[in-house]
Amino acid sequence: MELSILLIMFLLFIFVCSAFGLVYIWSSPKEMEGIPGSLGWPIIGESLSFLSDFSSPSGIFSFMNKRQQRYGKVFKTFVLGRFTVFMTGREASKILLTGKDGMVSLNLFYTGQQVLGPTSLLQANGEAHKRLRRLIAEPLSIDGLKKYFHFINSQAIETLDQWSGRRVLVLDEASSFTLKVIGNMIMSLEPSGEEQEMFRANFKLISSSFASLPFKIPGTAFYCGIKARDRMYAMIDSIIARRRNGEVIQQDFLESLIMKHSRGTDTGDDENKLTDQQMKDNILTLLVAGHDTTTAALTWLIKFLGENPAVLEQLRDEHRRIQANRRDGTDLTWLEVNNMPYTAKVISETLRMATILPWFSRKAAQDFEIDGISYNIKKGWSVNLDVVSIHHDPGTFPDPQNFDPSRFDAPVKPFSFLGFGSGPRMCPGMNLAKLEISIFIHHLVCRYKWRPLKRDDSVQPTLVRMPKNKYPIMVEPL
């Protein structure tokens, strides 16, 4: 629907330009002229093809692969309002993700910049980024997660209690579970109730807006995402006000921010404290980072287990041994969930196979070269790393279309596995994601068997790759 509306608007724009004799010159920055590739149509570039390929079974890999076959490992294009260069390979991965010598900075698409706000961790660089990352990393550290372990465990059990003998849309259930977890960690949201429902409705619109075309027009995903973000911020403002008035006191991430960063308190120099806007931008960033990717990973993992019975049986054996070594009447413990070696390999192989974040976008902060790449990168360029091709490189991962957790029996080559990214911008929610998935999978494989109800490998047209059909299954007790 959105693409049809935008296409009509584009045609009207061309008509108006023609009527007034306007001439639109469509070309890339001059320095880019030596790089092969196509910019597509005026204004929208190759955005429609880009978004369309998102929904194909191979996802963005289809878009990349067609152009790599035609132009090589490096090509230029224009998508979602931006001139950009795509490239792949371990050497490019090392340079772009480590940000060596300040060569690159993170480069969100316009839609992400607008939705997350200017003070988000994902838009900060240099010392500002280090400071915000330390702040956000606190509740997501191993020690910080311990106090949420029992809540996560109880939510996993409560979710799975509803699955027996039912048709289940795994993606929806995984989304509900992970959103309850991160909402409780951040601002003590109850797992059910009116506030939770409003929170979920707004969050869904925000998530859907990140891969939309950058037109703030009523009815578009981008417009709806901005409006949902505003409602979410109003909700957080209300919670902050109640906390400061002493009406509510909670031991959560938001409370720690209010205590440390309220102006006029005796906890430090006001100049070094976060404003309310900075708090809201980074709470939203943490909510997004702690939800979408984990939801997708959990859904893909259950799908891959259903398609690979030998892997599922080996995984089930690991969790049955954990159960067998436990005293009667006791539940999963923190020590047990941190000692699941085969589960860890299954998670890694899921992230490799699905490549939930198919590319990482960076902006060149200076001119530089990459070994093995025959083009010079110029300051100011948008440079995107194609992660799918790295994860499906047969030189590193033989027979890459097979789901094989044993690939991770030994360490893989540096910068060839990017399930959680790498370098200073490695996913801050990595430990939380592993914890949530390990807990959920433990209870799932110990209690249930399942079968898919519909075979469909298409993916949703969003930046985080998720099954389009939400992976419907029928669940039965073991």
435 pLDDT above the threshold of 70: yes
Tokens matching residue 211: 């891969």
Q: Which of 356-370, 380-394, 431-445, 462-476 has the highest mean pLDDT?
A: 431-445
- Span 438-449, mean pLDDT? 97
pLDDT on residue 16: 42
Q: Tell me which of 87-91, 294-298, 449-453 is least confident.
A: 87-91
Q: At residue 269, does pLDDT exceed 70? A: no
What does the alpha-carbon distance between residue 403 and residue 391 come to, in Å, rounded to a whole number?
A: 12
pLDDT at 161: 96
pLDDT class for 30, splitting at 50, 70, 90? low
**Structure tokens given for 90:** 């371990």
Residue bearing the bigger pLDDT, 174 or 291: 174
pLDDT for position 423: 80
The 10s digit of each residue's pLDDT in 209-242 is 876 777 788 888 889 989 999 999 999 999 888 8
Q: Exposed, middle or buried, 235 (CB in 10 Å: 0-12/13-18/19+)?
A: middle
CA dist., res. 280 & res. 230, Å (int): 10
pLDDT in tens, 324-367: 988 776 789 999 999 999 999 999 999 999 998 888 888 888 88
CA distance 453 to 330: 34
Cβ 417 vs Cβ 316: under 8 Å: no
CATH superfamily of 28-123+355-416: Cytochrome P450 (1.10.630.10)
- For 236, 254, 320, the CA distances from 228, given in Å and listed in that order, are 12, 20, 44
Per-residue pLDDT tens over the stretch 276-315: 888 888 888 888 877 889 999 999 999 999 999 999 999 9
Instruction: Answer with the residue of higher pLDDT: 26 or 425.
Output: 425
pLDDT of residue 55: 63
| pLDDT for 24 | 39
Residue 168 C-alpha from the chain's centroid? 23
pLDDT of the residue at 54: 67
- For residues 120 and 16, the model is more confident at 120
Q: Where are the alpha helices (DSSP H) in 55-89?
A: 60-71
From the list 168, 368, 206, the residue with the least C-alpha distance to 286 is 206
Contacts of 159 (CB under 8 A, 6+ apart): 173, 176, 177, 440
- The answer to whether the annotation marks 427 as part of a ligand binding site is yes
Residue 315: partners with Cβ closer than 8 Å, 6 or more residues away:
305, 342, 343, 346, 441, 445
- Tens of pLDDT, residues 98-140: 876 667 777 777 777 888 888 888 777 777 778 888 777 777 7
Letter string b/e over residues 199-227, b meaning 16 or more CB atoms within 10 A of that residue's CB: beebbebbbbbbbbbbbeeeebbbbbbbb
Does pLDDT of 18 surpass 50? Answer: no
pTM: 0.86
Identify the sign of the CA torsion 446, 451, 456, 460: negative
From CA 32, how far away is CA 18, in angstroms rounded?
28
Question: Does residue 56 register a pLDDT over 70?
Answer: no
Q: In the chain, where are the structural domains located? A: 28-123+355-416
pLDDT digits (tens, 9 = 90+) for 142-158: 888 898 999 999 999 99
Per cent of the chain over pLDDT 70 is 87
